[in-house]
Amino acid sequence: MKSTDSTSLERPGSLLARLRRRGLRLTAQRRVIAQALEEAGVHLTADEVFERAVARLPELSRATVYNTLNQLRALGEICEISLDDGPRRYDPNVTERHQHLVCDSCGTVRDVIPSGDVSLPEDQQHGFVINEVQVIFRGLCPACAKPSRP
């Protein structure tokens, strides 16, 4: 494995490493967008990706961020999650099957790996070919669950 311009973000399986393996040209734009997605640890909206990425690459435009997110999604390297009527969020974790834990109050999204099986029994598939499973666990994060007045 080449270690040219490797950063701590470029571990095997990371979004940047996957894009590189795919032979996608890692333009500065793609690089800062991938970094923004990965380092957040939570799933960002397109606007949040833009805010983080533009801090590194001031000439980045919002349209480029939107286009790149769409492109990465079309390639299957990130997935889009929409929760209720909130803005769509982008998830770079497509290599590890996981579900989401969402705070109903502040909207924070975390990756979780449920115990047990979340697949559908065959008699419940109604002839569908199941492409993906999304399960959302909802609740309050520790910060929001804290009573404001003890």
- List residues near Zn ion by CB under 5 A: 91, 93, 103, 105-106, 111, 141, 144
In Å, how far are 68, 75, 136 from 58, measured between CA atoms?
16, 26, 35
Q: Report the residue number, 5 or 132, with the smaller CB distance to Zn ion.
A: 132
**Which residues, in sequence order, are CB contacts of 97 under 8 Å at separation 6+?**
113
DSSP 8-class letter at 57: -
Q: Report the residue number, 38 or 111, with the smaller CB distance to Zn ion.
A: 111
DSSP 8-class letter at 137: E
- CB of residue 100 to Zn ion, shortest distance in Å: 6
- CB of residue 149 to Zn ion, shortest distance in Å: 17
- CB of residue 13 to Zn ion, shortest distance in Å: 14
Q: Report the residue number, 29 or 93, with the smaller CB distance to Zn ion.
A: 93
- CB of residue 110 to Zn ion, shortest distance in Å: 8
DSSP-derived 3-state class of residue 142: helix
- CB of residue 97 to Zn ion, shortest distance in Å: 10
**How many Cβ atoms are within 10 Å of 102's Cβ, its own excluded?**
24
User: In which order are the strands placed within the sheet that holds 89-91?
Assistant: 44-45, 89-91, 79-81
Q: Report the residue number, 106 or 118, with the smaller CB distance to Zn ion.
A: 106
Q: Report the residue number, 57 or 141, with the smaller CB distance to Zn ion.
A: 141
| Residue linked to tokens 């974790």 | 93
State the pairing for strand pair 99-103/44-45: unpaired
